[in-house]
Amino acid sequence: MTSVKMCKITTPRTILTWGIPLIIIASYSLLTVQADLSLAIPILVGVTACVILLLAVTLYAGEKMAINWSPGIVIIIAATLRLLFLFRQPELSDDIYRYVFDGLQSLMGHNPYAMAPADIAQETEELAYLVLNVNHSHLVTIYPPAAQLIFAMGTALGGGVLGFKALLVTMDLATCVMILRLLSFLGLPPWRAAIYAWHPLPVLEIAASGHIDGACILFLLLTLLLLVSQPSFSFSKSQLTTTRHSGGMRLKRTVLHLFAGLTFTCAVFVKLIPLILLPGFLFIFRVRGRALFFMGILVGATLLTLPFLPDVRNMLDTLSIYVQNWEFAGFGYRTLRRVTSSGDVARYLLASGFIISMTFLYVGLYRKMWKSPCKDDKRRRFQSSGLDPSPKNTTREAFFPVIKTLYSIIMAYLLLTPALHPWYALYLVCLLPFVPGPAGLALSWSVFLSYQVLIPYNILGEWVENDVTSFMIWVAPVTAFLLMKYVRTAIRRKQV
């Protein structure tokens, strides 16, 4: 009788534990046999939908204790999935050719901000080939200084595109390790790291297309890890035992705050998107900690910018052109432009909506982190630390509101930006292991629908977007969010 019961319990767990990763690997393998992914978008959308559904099953089964993958299993499968696409030429995006071109300019001793690729004499066949493949070659590079250093590192590895992709894959696997470390500090199970490590976006956008956003995410998560691992965050009584010990802790906090500022600067100087998350980090600190964090930012910004002066200013001209003119798969922008008959008005309205949303979310975080009542003993412990008092008594409970707020702000940004490229959703996916939800999973899949423009573009040379696709991308996460709200409300009513 006992053996029968054990069999009934273990068999479903075994199926889930081994079945999910095997099906995910098989799904990605189906994409690798396609001659050109840009012409197989329907298959791409179907395969990614299958993987997302399996990740949703993982979330459900994991919460029911039906699976328990070790960190090693998560990393091994993550590396396997990325190796499947590492040696393919980029087919969904050509941004990597700009990266390699900028990297070569730096290695040759030229400032990549000095001139646009089209204005530079092509001294070698490699440069001539890259210029032909660089999009918007008449514009100076838009990528900040930290990105330029990574471009140079990737290009120095040799192999052109392959060498650069190998560097990004290595950094992306390091991101998976960072997620595992964060999960450990927050008291969450390691299987949650699979939500990012096996997700289609990092596999296809970093390993296959080689987008620099993978490096940005690594520095962003490293900043979070430095903050959550600081010695004062978990209210440990041992921190206050002796003056000598407390002094050592203060020194460690100082170093961590400075390094957190440096790593955050690296993230922003790879891609500017993390700037919208800066207030979320500041809510963690008291005045001294905040000052050290800003000092790290200032030092990092100075060191990264100096090698590219004075031509780095040209990047701002390209950035201005991007902000004023770029659009892609933005349902809100396309709708407002049609209603107002003005692209500029549509951009102002979207920017205003995002600023209002961001303010509302940060005010809510402020109330949770600063205004909640807390006991006197906890308040006294915080007086000697670099953190503001919180009513919570564990690292997970104190840090969780910050991650939730960052997640919500990135979601708002993705829904309101005029240009929603699929790889922008990577900033949302890297937080899914900590804030899993149907809306995030839905959006991280629906962005792949935007690749439908590649089919007529590659066949006919025509770049044609349509409102139906942008609407489907937008409505998928909204529907998922409302459906979950309805289900939760129905469950509460039943319990009452």
Alpha carbon distances (Å) from 248 to 241, 251, 385: 12, 5, 12
* Predicted pLDDT of residue 361: 94
Q: Which residues make Cβ contacts (< 8 Å) with residue 450, sequence separation at least 6?
A: 328, 329, 420, 421, 422, 469, 470, 473
Question: CA 339 to CA 128: how far, in whole Å?
Answer: 44
* Torsions phi, psi for 459 (to 5 deg): -90, -45
Regions of the chain where pLDDT drops below 50: 1-9, 232-245, 373-394
- 116-147 CB burial, b ≥16 within 10 A, e <16: bbeebeeeeeebeebbebbebbebbbbbbbbb
Question: CA 433 to CA 447: how far, in whole Å?
Answer: 19
Whole-number CA gyration radius for the chain: 24
Could you tell me which of 403, 19, 358, 447 has the C-alpha nearest to residue 188? Answer: 403
| Chain centroid to CA 186 | 19
Question: CA 453 to CA 466: how far, in whole Å?
Answer: 9
Omega within 30 of 0 (cis) for the link into 310: yes
* Predicted pLDDT of residue 305: 96
* Predicted pLDDT of residue 230: 62
Question: CA 7 to CA 290: how far, in whole Å?
Answer: 55
Helix or strand or coil: residue 178?
Answer: helix
Q: Can you give the pTM of this predicted structure?
A: 0.89
Average pLDDT, the chain: 86
* Predicted pLDDT of residue 281: 85
Alpha carbon distances (Å) from 6 to 2, 12, 61, 68, 482: 6, 11, 18, 17, 39
Q: Which amino acid is at 289?
A: G
Could you tell me which of 163, 151, 159, 167 has the C-alpha nearest to residue 106? Answer: 151
Question: CA 176 to CA 178: how far, in whole Å?
Answer: 5
Q: What angle do CA 227, 231, 235 make, to 5 degrees?
A: 105
- Phi/psi zone of residue 341: left (φ > 0), alpha (ψ -120 to 50 degrees), beta? left
Question: CA 307 to CA 289: how far, in whole Å?
Answer: 29
Could you tell me which of 85, 106, 104 has the C-alpha nearest to residue 30? Answer: 85
Q: Which amino acid is at 379?
A: R
Judge whether 266 and 149 are in contact, CB under 8 Å. no
| Chain centroid to CA 233 | 24
* Predicted pLDDT of residue 366: 83
pLDDT tens sequence across 305-324: 999 999 999 999 999 999 99
* Predicted pLDDT of residue 21: 93
* Predicted pLDDT of residue 371: 58
Alpha carbon distances (Å) from 37 to 102, 307, 387, 440, 450: 26, 38, 48, 24, 14
Identify the sign of the CA torsion 44, 46, 49, 53.
negative
- Phi/psi zone of residue 271: left (φ > 0), alpha (ψ -120 to 50 degrees), beta? beta
Alpha carbon distances (Å) from 242 to 246, 248, 358, 379, 394: 6, 10, 42, 18, 22
Judge whether 293 and 261 are in contact, CB under 8 Å. yes
Judge whether 285 and 293 are in contact, CB under 8 Å. yes
Enumerate the β-bridge partners of residue 329: 419
